[in-house]
């Protein structure tokens, strides 16, 4: 049986939550991943609040932070000595 895209997403999220505590808190990649997750949550919250002039600014700021967090993750991955093979 093949999972739908939604079922696959839910499974992946639940799987990540289940093993979240096993991440190495000294790993800069982990901190970068957390920043990406936080930025995504902030972006979704801004979208959920609906449309208004203030909210549009909030969405724009959330998009900027999401892009910055993804760039920081890329940088952390490139610096990671185990990532260069």
Helix 53-79 and helix 28-48, axial crossing angle in degrees, nearest 10: 160
Query: Which is higher by pLDDT, 80 or 60?
Result: 60
- pLDDT single digits (tens) 37-68: 999 999 999 888 877 777 888 999 999 999 99
Measured in whole angstroms, the distance separating CA 14 from the mean position of its chain's CA atoms is: 15
pLDDT of residue 67: 97
CA angle (61 as vertex; 15, 57 as ends), nearest 5: 125
Contact in structure between 83 and 43 (CB atoms under 8 Å): no
| Domain positions in the chain | 23-83
Is the pLDDT reported for residue 83 higher than 80? Answer: no
pLDDT, tens digit, 9 for 90 and up, residues 6-45:
888 888 888 877 777 666 778 888 889 989 999 999 999 9
């Amino acid at each position: 049986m093949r999972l739908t895209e939604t079922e696959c997403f839910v499974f992946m999220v639940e799987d990540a939550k289940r093993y979240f505590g096993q991440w190495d808190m000294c790993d800069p990649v982990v901190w970068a991943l957390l920043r990406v997750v936080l930025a995504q949550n902030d972006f979704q919250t801004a979208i959920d609040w609906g449309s208004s002039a203030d909210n549009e600014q909030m969405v724009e700021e959330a998009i900027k932070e999401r892009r910055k967090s993804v760039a920081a993750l890329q940088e952390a991955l490139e610096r990671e000595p185990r990532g260069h093979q």
